[in-house]
Structure 1
Amino acid sequence: MSFTPLHDRVLVRLIEGDEKTSGGLIIPDTAKEKPQQGEIVAVGAGAKDEKGKRIAMDVTAGDKILFGKWSGTEIKIDGEELMIMKESDILGIMS
């Protein structure tokens, strides 16, 4: 299925963190925190200003990003768990 976010929203594939601590202990699924990193899969066209002109998005598909811990809404598309969030929820682009 094809999915395009509306306005200033982005579709994000989560990047899972390490499953071991630096000391080598394995972290069980129940103790893992929600990942705060992701890769942008799709980007909306951008929000509109008061005059109706589109405001360009600062991110593009393929960007690796950091976002807030409680950002976005989890969705499932074709069996894959993804997140949809506003561009303003993104803290920065990782290089």
Structure 2
Amino acid sequence: MAKRLIPTLNRVLVEKIVPPTKTTAGILLPEKSTKLKSGKVVAVGPGLPGKAGNRIPVAVKEGDTVVLPDYGGTQVFLCDKEYHLYRDEDIPGTLHD
């Protein structure tokens, strides 16, 4: 069984962040408040080859928190954990504190 997946080209491996369904005080949160789909970047590919032979790097790096699209991506299971593989251009942006 594979222990680590290294994406090819401009692909990004993301572990989705599951938003909490209730607060620390035990109050249940409505589904609307947990709508933003985000994930943590686990691994990135080396990037696409450019016309001049140089590599065009991926826009995100390992450890970034990213906004995920509603659809798309390839579901991957590694060591009983669920990950998703996206193309770099399918990720709309990163989240910062």
Scaled by the length of structure 1, what TM-score is found?
0.81
User: What stretches of structure 1 move > 6 A for 4+ residues in a row?
Assistant: none
How far apart, in 2, do the equivalents of 1:8 and 1:14 lie? 19
1:69 aligns with 2:50: no
Deviation at 1:17, TM superposition (A): 1.8
Secondary structure, counterpart of 2:52 in structure 1: coil
Residue ranges of structure 2 left out of the alignment (5+ in a row): none
How far apart, in 2, do the equivalents of 1:17 and 1:62 lie? 18
Alignment size in residue pairs: 89
**CA-to-partner distance for each residue in 1:35-83, whole Å, 9 max, x for gaps?**
7210000010001112321001211000000021003111101110000
Secondary structure, counterpart of 1:40 in structure 2: strand
Contact preservation (8 Å) 2:36, 2:67:
no
How far apart, in 2, do the equivalents of 1:4 and 1:34 lie? 29
Contact preservation (8 Å) 1:11, 1:84:
yes
Scaled by the length of structure 2, what TM-score is found?
0.79
Give the counterpart letter for 1:61 in structure 2. Answer: E
Q: Give me the identity figure in percent.
A: 31
Give the counterpart letter for 1:93 in structure 2. Answer: T
